[in-house]
A and B are shown apart, each in its own frame.
Chain A
Amino acid sequence: MKRTTQALGALGVVLFSASMGLADPVDDTLIINEETEIVTRTAAPAHISDALDEVMSGWLFRGAETRAMQADDFDNPGMIFVEQAEEKWASADGSEGKSCADCHGAPEEMAGVRPVYPKWNEAAGEVRTLEMQINDCRTTRMGADKWKYTGGDMVNMTALLASVSRGMPVDVAIDGPAQSTWEQGKELYYTRTGQLELSCANCHEDNYGRMIRADHLSQGQINGFPTYRLKNTKLNAVHSRFKGCIRDTRAETYDAGSPEFVALELYVASRGNGLGVEGPSVRN
């Protein structure tokens, strides 16, 4: 495993060296419901091969009990919310009297959608997250109100759409019309923010595998989102997690659904190209 520890700011050095324990990710295999094997480590995609040799799911950085909770749909509390989304999926809403199912069929028909989002939308001329696409469906096709970007209905629906793609490799496109958004996301990933002057990379590229106080730093991959956190016992959207991380650098954060976070999501997703979709995952 290659580590680059240079270029840490003074504060960063203090932060990590206070508990500089090395704790490598576990050597374990994630098989869900004894049938779906998830790729939790694989060769890094070419576009980040200068920074990482291997990309790893956050699942490998969690304790045995937390890992076990994700390996069975009954034990995974995130699946409660997937079931709630299944009901919404089949319920008509809005002036057109249509449900998701009326156009799309069973949720399983959506297998393969999650792994390619965020994705360039030609008609709209923008990169869209799954949340943006869901709200476009709601307003344009159903005549319904938008859901709050990180609200319960939305995060539940993204969990349902992730769950039917579990095990499929993340495969977001970063070239062509998506490239400038991806570049913007990359810029954000390496930009230090806040009073602590930490970028995403300072923790999740330079120091993954180390302990930050009592926590085991992962690579910050997002193939497991939305994620059920033991901490707040609910599903957490990826933009909520971005906000949490940036807030913890003591910075003003961007808003969920903002162009900056859309770009960052595309870039971070692309760092996990090849990892299996896990949502809803279970984390601490």
Chain B
Amino acid sequence: MELTRRQAIALGAGALLAAHLPHTAYAAGEEAIQAFTGGAALADTGITLTAPEIAENGNTVPIEVSAPGASEIMVLALGNPTPPVATFKFGPLAASQSASTRIRLAGTQDVLAIARLADGSFAQAKATVKVTIGGCGG
């Protein structure tokens, strides 16, 4: 999918709004977290999220999540118009509870990963990704 410059600017503006205002996308992120965790407390250890500090283009940002023993990991891009990105459920033959993929980010924002750990508790990891745009729009 190709974003035109105008669309990219519009998406970026949306991301700014989401970061600063109570807003539908922000609420949607909260809702997704609530649905996944049932409102449980989130520990800060037990999950790692690897993402570039600076992404050369928001259309294709490589990320990796890992949470040893987790049954599932949900990834959210809190500044996207629709925050959910993916949910990984690990089966009995998963050799590690980790996965890599490539995601779209509408602008500079926080990416959040939440794992349901083996004991049923939840843990989160967050990474801020700066999304850059080209030199002269080319």
Is there any pair of Cβ atoms, one from A and one from B, under 8 angstroms apart in the complex?
yes
A230–B133 CB distance below 8 A:
no
The A/B interface has a contact count, at CB < 8 Å, of 56
Q: Is the CB of A284 within 8 A of B136?
A: no
| Residues from chain A with Cβ under 8 Å of B61 in the complex | 65
The answer to whether B137 and A248 have CB atoms under 8 Å apart is yes
Cβ-neighbour of B135 out of A63, A217, A233 (below 8 A): A217
B56 touches A66 (CB 8 A): yes
Looking at chain A's contact residues, the main secondary structure is mixed
Q: A230-B56, A230-B57 are in contact. Are A65 and B135 (CB under 8 A)?
A: no
Which residues of A are found within 8 Å of B57, using beta-carbon distances?
Answer: 229-231, 284
Q: In the bound complex, what is the Cα–Cα distance between A62 and B2 (angstroms)?
A: 20
Is A47 part of the contact surface with B, judged by Cβ < 8 Å?
no
Q: Can you name the residue of chain B whose Cβ is closest to the Cβ of A213?
A: B135
- In the complex, which residues 2-30 of chain A have their Cβ closer than 8 Å to any Cβ of chain B? 15
**Distance (whole angstroms) from the CB of A153 to the closest CB of chain B:** 19
Q: A232-B2, A233-B1, A233-B2 are in contact. Are A62 and B56 (CB under 8 A)?
A: yes
- Interface size on B, as a range, is 10 to 19
Q: Mark B89-109, 1 if CB is under 8 A from A, else 0.
A: 000000000000000000000
How many residues from A make CB contacts under 8 Å with B?
24
| Interface status of B52 (Cβ within 8 A of chain A) | yes
B138 within 8 A of A: yes
Could you tell me which residues of chain A, from 219 to 239, have a CB within 8 Å of some CB in chain B? Answer: 229-234
Contacts of A65 in B (CB 8 A): 52, 55-56, 61-62
Instruction: Flag if B136 contacts A213 (CB, 8 Å).
Output: yes
Q: A65-B56, A217-B135 are in contact. List 7 more A-B contacts (CB 8 A).
A: A212-B135, A213-B135, A213-B136, A214-B133, A214-B134, A230-B59, A231-B2
10 A-B pairs in the complex with CB atoms less than 8 angstroms apart: A65-B61, A212-B135, A214-B133, A215-B132, A215-B134, A230-B56, A231-B2, A233-B2, A248-B137, A248-B138
